[in-house]
Structure 1
């Protein structure tokens, strides 16, 4: 029975710790930009300039 109390207290402490870390990240602005990552794949890459275009030298 003592093992159950020990495991229960450890799990509550770990849950509280994870909650505090999550709230700390939330207040520091970690999750502010949730729109840009989902559309980043739709943006086109910049085209290389003529001096960087090595395929035209063939």
Structure 2
């Protein structure tokens, strides 16, 4: 029964921390543009095209 007196304050502390993090995310505009990040992955051109590996992707000698 004594564990309840420890677990309830810990649970309340977790709820308070989660609330603070949530309201911080709202104030720092983390949820303003949800669609842009989802479409950025489709149009990401930063990586170079696949370069064949000399050791595994070579043509056999004729």
> Is the pair's TM-score, using the shorter chain for normalization, greater than 0.5?
yes
1:34, distance to aligned residue in structure 2 (A) = 0.2
Bigger helix fraction = 1
Residues 1:30 and 2:30 are matched in the alignment: yes
When the two structures are superposed, what TM-score results if normalisation uses the length of structure 1? 0.61
1:45 alignment partner in structure 2:
45
Helix, strand or coil: the match of 1:45? coil
RMSD: 1.9
Number of residues paired by the alignment? 46
Q: How much has 1:42 moved relative to structure 2?
A: 3.1
Moved over 6 A (4+): none
- Structure-2-length-normalised TM-score: 0.58
Query: Residue 43 of structure 1: CA displacement?
Result: 2.5
Q: Which runs of 5+ in 1 are unaligned?
A: 47-58
Q: Deviations over 1:1-58 (max 9, x none)?
A: 1211211111111111111111111111112110111111332638xxxxxxxxxxxx
